[in-house]
A = this chain, B = another copy of it.
Amino acid sequence: MKIQELAVKMGLSVHTIRFYEKEGLFDSRHVQREKNNYRNYSDEAVERLQMIKKFQGLGCSLAELKEIFQDHDTNTKTHQQIIDWIEQKKAEIEQKKAEYDQVLETLEWMIAYRKLLMTDPQKAETLFKARTSVSPH
What residues of chain A have their CB less than 8 Å away from a CB belonging to chain B?
29, 44, 46-48, 50-51, 54-55, 57-58, 68-69, 72-73, 79, 82-83, 86-87, 89-90, 93-94, 96-97, 99-100, 103-104, 106-108, 110-111, 114-115, 117-118, 133, 135-137
Chain B: CB-nearest residue to A104 = B93
Can you tell how many copies of this chain the complex includes? 2
For the complex, would chain A's binding face be called helix, strand, loop or mixed by DSSP majority? Answer: helix
Q: Taking A86-B110, A114-B83 as contacts, is the C-beta distance between A72 and B137 under 8 angstroms?
A: yes
Query: Which residues of B sit under 8 angstroms from A73, Cβ to Cβ?
Result: 137
Q: Taking A79-B117, A103-B58, A111-B86 as contacts, is the C-beta distance between A47 and B97 under 8 angstroms?
A: no
